[in-house]
Amino acid sequence: MQDPAVDIRLEVRSTIDIVTARQQSRELAMELGFSGTETTLIAAAISEIARNILDHAKRGEIIFTVVHRGGLKGLQIIADDQGPGIPDIQRAMQYGYSTRRGLGVGLPGANWLMDEFEIESTVGKGTKITMRKWLKNGIRRHNPAG
């Protein structure tokens, strides 16, 4: 199977885009060979970070990329916005902590759903969240049993 060569970029500016982003992630994850459950976990994580963009920055962008590391293949999702930024990332990653109307589960939740999760944020400049999920059968191919 040919990997999508270019990044897929989606603008997030209204709540409808959350649904679109979720569908996009689902298609891509299925195509890459993620299981139904993993695909749902990825879609749920996308839902939360897209919502985070809308709630805090009003608009931003989600970029999907197929990534390789060693023998592993995975899906990388970047959520990028030019919003107010997060003054205290540690606190924002605390479960149940919310500055706005959310439940405060968005960012920590997305972190739990994915394999890797990084946040860079500068107050007044914006926030960039990078998260990845790796194909588990890729591990097996990389380290064949026996």
Partner 1 sequence: MQVPILKQGSCLIASIQSVLSDADMLQLRDNLADMVGRHRARGVIIDVTVLDVIDSFATRTLRQMAHMLNLRGADTVIVGIQPEVAFAMVQLGLTLEGVGTALDLEEGLAFLEEKTKLHARPGR
Given the rule CB under 8 A, which residues bind partner 1?
A: 15-16, 18-19, 22-23, 26, 36-37, 39-41, 43-44, 47-48, 51, 95, 102-103, 105-106, 108-109, 112-113
Residue 7 φ/ψ, nearest 5 degrees: -65, 150
Q: State the nearest-atom distance from the C-beta of 146 to partner 1, in Å.
A: 31
Q: State the nearest-atom distance from the C-beta of 26 to partner 1, in Å.
A: 7
Comparison of 26 and 63: residue with beta carbon closer to partner 1: 26
State how far the Cα of 80 lies from the Cα of 65, in Å rounded to an integer.
14
27's CB contacts (< 8 A; 6+ apart) are none
Q: State the nearest-atom distance from the C-beta of 75 to partner 1, in Å.
A: 16
Comparison of 84 and 108: residue with beta carbon closer to partner 1: 108
Comparison of 3 and 112: residue with beta carbon closer to partner 1: 112
State how far the Cα of 109 lies from the Cα of 39, in Å rounded to an integer.
15
Match 């695909």 to its residue by tokens.
Answer: 39
Q: Which of 25, 52, 31 is nearest to 111 (CA)?
A: 52
Comparison of 94 and 122: residue with beta carbon closer to partner 1: 94
Q: State the nearest-atom distance from the C-beta of 107 to partner 1, in Å.
A: 10
State how far the Cα of 143 lies from the Cα of 4, in Å rounded to an integer.
25
Q: State the nearest-atom distance from the C-beta of 18 to partner 1, in Å.
A: 7
Comparison of 71 and 112: residue with beta carbon closer to partner 1: 112
Match 């959310």 to its residue by tokens.
Answer: 102
